[in-house]
Amino acid sequence: MLSLALLGASAYALARLWPVTWALQWLGVTAGVTGYLLWVSWNHLPNNRPDGQQEFLYPDLGLPNLLTYWRGVLIAATAGFLLLPRPEGILLWAPGILFSLGVLPDYFDGYLARLSGRVTRLGEELDVAVDGVAVLTAVLLGVSWGQVPRWYLLVGLARYAFLFGIWLRRRMGKPVYPLPPNLGRRALAGAMMGFNMVMLWPLFGPPSTLYVAYLFGVPFLINFGRDWMSVSGISVPRFNFPRWLIQTGKTWLPLGLRLIVLLGMGYAIWLWLPRLENLIAQFADLGVVYPALLVGLLLALEGVVLVCVALGIMGRTMGILGMCLLGLHLRFQNTLALELLLPAIAAGLIFFFGSGGWSMWAPEEELLQRRAGEGHSA
pLDDT in tens, the chain (378 residues): 899 899 999 999 999 989 999 999 999 999 999 999 999 999 999 999 887 677 788 988 889 999 999 999 999 999 999 999 999 888 899 999 999 999 988 878 777 888 888 888 899 999 999 999 999 999 999 999 999 999 999 999 999 999 999 999 999 999 999 888 776 677 788 888 889 999 999 988 888 888 889 988 999 999 999 999 999 988 877 666 566 655 677 788 899 999 999 999 999 999 888 888 988 998 888 888 889 999 999 999 999 999 999 999 999 899 989 998 998 888 887 666 778 888 988 998 888 888 988 899 988 777 666 555 444 444
CA distance 213 to 27: 30
State residue 289 phi and psi, 5-degree precision. Answer: -70, -45
Burial class of residue 373 (count of CB atoms within 10 Å of its CB; 0-12, 13-18, 19+): middle
Helix, strand, coil share of the chain (percent; to 5): 75, 0, 25
Residue 326: its H or E element: helix 315-333
CA distance 335 to 327: 12
User: What's the domain count of the chain?
Assistant: 2
CA distance 93 to 102: 14
> Does a structural domain hold residue 300?
yes
DSSP state of 212: H
> Does a structural domain hold residue 256?
yes
The torsion of the CA quartet 276, 298, 359, 319, rounded to 10 degrees, works out to: -100
Which residues lie below 8 Å from residue 198, measured CB to CB, with a gap of 6+? 204, 324, 327
> Does a structural domain hold residue 219?
no
Last-in-domain residue among 112, 145, 178: 145
Last-in-domain residue among 97, 121, 145: 145
pLDDT at position 369 is: 64
pLDDT at position 349 is: 87
Residue (of 197, 213, 201, 199) closest to 71 by Cα position: 197
* H helices present in 238-314, as ranges: 243-272, 276-285, 291-311
In a shared domain, residues 249 and 140: no
Residue 80: its H or E element: none
pLDDT at position 378 is: 42
pLDDT at position 307 is: 95
> Does a structural domain hold residue 63?
yes
Q: Beta-carbon neighbour count of residue 118 at 10 Å? A: 19
In a shared domain, residues 2 and 130: yes
> Does a structural domain hold residue 164?
no
> Does a structural domain hold residue 234?
no
Name the residue range of residue 329's domain.
Answer: 243-369
Which residues lie below 8 Å from residue 296, measured CB to CB, with a gap of 6+? none
pLDDT at position 192 is: 86
CA distance 159 to 133: 10
Last-in-domain residue among 145, 168, 186: 145
pLDDT at position 370 is: 59
> Does a structural domain hold residue 11?
yes
pLDDT at position 70 is: 94
**Cβ(207)–Cβ(199) under 8 Å?**
no
CA distance 230 to 236: 7
> Does a structural domain hold residue 162?
no
pLDDT at position 27 is: 95
